[in-house]
C-alpha cells in the first residue's frame, strides 16, 4: 500500500538536504507520496510543498515575536492537514523551534517521527535532548559526536555522515568560471556569504561590505574583486538594494555557489552550513554573525552555551581553526585585518587551508543521503507496516 510522509525543512540548506533524502527514498521505493514545508529543491524532487520556507525564515526570539501570527497560522493549518491526511510518518529536518512543536502534535496522534539533521544540542544545553527523547522515534545525524550524545540519552540514533561530501565541489574549469562570472584573472577574489535569511542578511551584509571597502583601500581597486553568491531563499532585489549605494567590485552570483566559492582566495561567511561548505572547498575564511540585541541577550543570559565557538566548521574540527567575529566583535576593521593577514602570509594561508580540508575525514563517507534514505525505508517497513 502507498505510504504518505510529511516532511518539513525550514531553511535553504535543509531544503537541499531534504530534496536529496526524498530522491534517495524514491530510488528505493516508488510508492511514497511526500507533502510538507520546504522550498524549490523539495518541490523539484516531487514534494507537494504547501508552505514555502521563506515564510519560516526567522532567527531568534525577536523574529519569532515579529512573525508570530504568520507562524501560528502556518502551524495551525499544518496541524489541520496532518489530521486530515494522516501521514504514515513524519521527517523533521533541523529548525527545532518549529519542528519540535509539530513533533508534539504528531506524537499525540500516534504518528512516528524521524528527525534528520540534529538541532545543535551540543551548544544549547541538555534540556532540548531530554525533550526530544519523548518526541522523536529515530534520529539520523550528520556527525559522529552527535550519535554518542543521543546514545547516552537512550535515543535510537544512526550516524549517516554528511551529504555535503558528495556534492560540494568545483564542477567547471577555473578559466571557464572566470570568463562566466566576468572576473579579472589577475585580481585576488574574495567571497561574501551573508546567509540565507532576510533578517540575517540585512544585519550581516553591511558589515561585509564595509570590510570589503577596507580591504580594497589597502590592496587597491585594481588588485581585488568580490563575489557574492545569493541563496535561493533570498530575493535578489534585497541584496541589490543593500549594494546599490556601494562603489565596490562586488559581483552577484545566482545558482552557482560552489563554483563561485572555489574561485576565492579567502571568504567572509555567516555562521551556519556555509562555513562547512567553504571548508570543504578549502577556502580560508572569517566567520561573521550578528543577531538582534534581544536575541543576543537571551543567548548570553538565559541559554547556556556549552562550547566556546558557534561556527559549524569549528564544532566539527573540535577546535577554533577559524576566527569568529560575533555580535559586538563583528567589526569590519578586525575582520579586514585577519583576511589581509591570510592574503599576505602564504604559510599561514596554506596551514589554514590544510586544517580545513582535514575536516573531510570527520564527516563519514560519501553517500550519506542514500544511507539516510535506507534508514527511513527500514523505519517505514518496521514501524509503519
Q: Give mean pLDDT in consecutive 10-residue pieces for the chain, a chain of 385 residues.
A: 90 87 96 92 94 60 57 85 92 87 92 90 65 92 89 93 90 94 94 88 92 94 93 82 77 92 96 91 93 50 55 88 87 96 96 93 90 96 82
C-alpha cell at 317: 574540527
Give 199-242 pLDDT, tens digit per residue.
888 889 999 999 999 999 999 989 999 999 998 777 888 888 88
C-alpha cell at 171: 564542477
pLDDT at 125: 54
Instruction: Write the DSSP symbol of residue 362.
Output: G
Q: Do domains 3-162+365-383 and 174-362 have the same CATH topology?
A: yes
Residue labelled with grid coordinates 550581516: 204
Q: For residues 344 and 160, is the Cβ–Cβ distance under 8 A?
A: no
Please tell me the CATH code under which domain 174-362 is placed.
3.40.50.2000
- What does the alpha-carbon distance between residue 245 and residue 260 come to, in Å, rounded to a whole number? 23
**CA dist 226 to 189, 221, 309, Å?**
6, 11, 27
Give 115-149 pLDDT, tens digit per residue.
998 887 665 555 678 888 899 999 999 988 889 88
**CA dist 17 to 37, 46, 65, 159, Å?**
13, 14, 28, 15
Buried b (16+ CB within 10 A) or exposed e, 264-294: bbbbbbbbbbbbbbbbbbbbbbbbbbbbbee
Q: What is the sign, positive or negative, of the torsion defined by CA atoms of 364, 370, 371, 372?
A: positive
- What does the alpha-carbon distance between residue 250 and residue 265 come to, in Å, rounded to a whole number? 15
Percent of the chain's residues with pLDDT above 70: 88
**CA dist 58 to 37, 75, 197, 305, Å?**
15, 14, 7, 20
Reference 95, options 14, 157, 158, 199; nearest CA is 14
Reference 8, options 71, 73, 56; nearest CA is 56
**How would DSSP label each residue in 85-99?**
H--SEEEEES-HHHH
- What does the alpha-carbon distance between residue 141 and residue 160 come to, in Å, rounded to a whole number? 6
The count of residues in the chain is 385
Indicate the pTM of the whole model.
Answer: 0.82
Strand partners, 140: 116, 158
Q: Does domain 3-162+365-383 have CATH number 3.40.50.2000?
A: yes
Reference 342, options 250, 290, 264, 271; nearest CA is 264
- Residue boundaries of the structural domains of the chain: 3-162+365-383, 174-362
Provide the total of helices (H) and of strands (E) in the chain, helices listed first: 18, 13
Q: Which residues contact 24 (CB under 8 A, 6 or more apart)?
A: 369, 370, 372, 373, 374
Amino acid at each position: 500500500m502507498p505510504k504518505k510522509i510529511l516532511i518539513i525543512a525550514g531553511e535553504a540548506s535543509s531544503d537541499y538536504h531534504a530534496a536529496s533524502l526524498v530522491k534517495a527514498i524514491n530510488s528505493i521505493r516508488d510508492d511514497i507520496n511526500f507533502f510538507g514545508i520546504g522550498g524549490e529543491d523539495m518541490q523539484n524532487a516531487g514534494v507537494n510543498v504547501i508552505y514555502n520556507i521563506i515564510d519560516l525564515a526567522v532567527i531568534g526570539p525577536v523574529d519569532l515575536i515579529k512573525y508570530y501570527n504568520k507562524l501560528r497560522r502556518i502551524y495551525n493549518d499544518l496541524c489541520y492537514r496532518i489530521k486530515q491526511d494522516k501521514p504514515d510518518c513524519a521527517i523533521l529536518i533541523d529548525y527545532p523551534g518549529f519542528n519540535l512543536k509539530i513533533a508534539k502534535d504528531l506524537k499525540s496522534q500516534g504518528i512516528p517521527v524521524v528527525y534528520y539533521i540534529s538541532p545543535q544540542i551540543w551548544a544549547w544545553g541538555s534540556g532540548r535532548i531530554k525533550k526530544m527523547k519523548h518526541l522523536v522515534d529515530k534520529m539520523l545525524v550528520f556527525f559522529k559526536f552527535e550519535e554518542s550524545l543521543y546514545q547516552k540519552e537512550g535515543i535510537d540514533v544512526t550516524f549517516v555522515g554528511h551529504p555535503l561530501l558528495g556534492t560540494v565541489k568545483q564542477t567547471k574549469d577555473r578559466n571557464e568560471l572566470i570568463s562566466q562570472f566576468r572576473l579579472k584573472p589577475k585580481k585576488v577574489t574574495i567571497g561574501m556569504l551573508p546567509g540565507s535569511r532576510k533578517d540575517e542578511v540585512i544585519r550581516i551584509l553591511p558589515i561585509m561590505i564595509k570590510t570589503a571597502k577596507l580591504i580594497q583601500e589597502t590592496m587597491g581597486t585594481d588588485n581585488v574583486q568580490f563575489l557574492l553568491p545569493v541563496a535561493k531563499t533570498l530575493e535578489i532585489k534585497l541584496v541589490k538594494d543593500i549594494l546599490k549605494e556601494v562603489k565596490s567590485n562586488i559581483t552577484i552570483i545566482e545558482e552557482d555557489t560552489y563554483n563561485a566559492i572555489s574561485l576565492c582566495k579567502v571568504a567572509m561567511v555567516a555562521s551556519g552550513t556555509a562555513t562547512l561548505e567553504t571548508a570543504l572547498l578549502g577556502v580560508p575564511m572569517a566567520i561573521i554573525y550578528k543577531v538582534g540585541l534581544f536575541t543576543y541577550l537571551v543567548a548570553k543570559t538565559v541559554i547556556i552555551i556549552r562550547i566556546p565557538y558557534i561556527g559549524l566548521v569549528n564544532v566539527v574540527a573540535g577546535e577554533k581553526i577559524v576566527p569568529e567575529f560575533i555580535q559586538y566583535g563583528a567589526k569590519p576593521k578586525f575582520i579586514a585585518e585577519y583576511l589581509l593577514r591570510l592574503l599576505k602570509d602564504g604559510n599561514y594561508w596554506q596551514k589554514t587551508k590544510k586544517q580545513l580540508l582535514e575536516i573531510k575525514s570527520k564527516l563519514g563517507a560519501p553517500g550519506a543521503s542514500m544511507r539516510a534514505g535506507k534508514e527511513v525505508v527500514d523505519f517505514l517497513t518496521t514501524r509503519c507496516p
